[in-house]
Structure 1
Amino acid sequence: MSDWRWEYNTDDPAYHTNGLPTGVVAEVERLATELVALGRDAARAGHPTGREGGLRSFDILGGRGVVQFLVVPRHECLYVCNIIWSG
């Protein structure tokens, strides 16, 4: 099991989640939890493919939204940077 953690990249999670349906927030948090289990390998998950690091993204809920995240190995943390929801 990984000692990695995830968090929103602001002190106020509502900045990212305000106005989103609870199911969307739950899906983002579930995905973040699964990604931190990968540890350093999370830096290769999602898009863009073929390279490691930088701002990564995943489609969520059948392509109706996108979550963008940054993996910082020296902090052992995944930061959720943006949630885009088109409903």
Structure 2
Amino acid sequence: MTDWTWDYDPSEEYVAGKLPPGVVAEVERLATELSALGNGSAKVGRPVDREGGLREFDILSGRGFISFLAVPRQRCVHICNVTWYG
């Protein structure tokens, strides 16, 4: 375990306000898992050929994806966007 946390950026209402509750629960579960990886979260998802920067990770069997930033100096994973195809 690490001392990393996660948060919505810029806010929960902006990022997840109109999503179904089950999707929000899955996003928050994945955010918790990403923060548990600590520095390793900068290597998860796309793009696969480099680490850092804005990352993307599929959710719910490809029915959507999250975009996130792993910021080592803040020890935080920022969930920036959720795209849901429903």
Please state how far the C-alpha of 1:19 moved relative to its aligned partner: 1.6
Counterpart in 1 of 2:6?
A: 6
Percentage identity across aligned positions? Answer: 58
- Structure 2: gaps spanning 5 or more residues: none
Counterpart in 1 of 2:58?
A: 59
In structure 1, the residue corresponding to 2:2 is in which secondary structure? Answer: coil
Aligned residues: 86
Is residue 74 of structure 1 aligned with residue 73 of structure 2?
Answer: yes
- Structure 1: gaps spanning 5 or more residues: none
Please state how far the C-alpha of 1:26 moved relative to its aligned partner: 0.4
TM-score normalised by the chain length of structure 1: 0.95
Q: Alpha carbon RMSD of aligned pairs, Å?
A: 0.7
TM-score normalised by the chain length of structure 2: 0.96
Please identify runs of 4+ aligned residues in structure 1 that moved more than 4 A.
Answer: none
Residue deviations 1:26-46 (CA, integer Å, cap 9, x gap): 000000000111100100001
In structure 1, the residue corresponding to 2:49 is in which secondary structure? Answer: coil
Please state how far the C-alpha of 1:83 moved relative to its aligned partner: 0.3
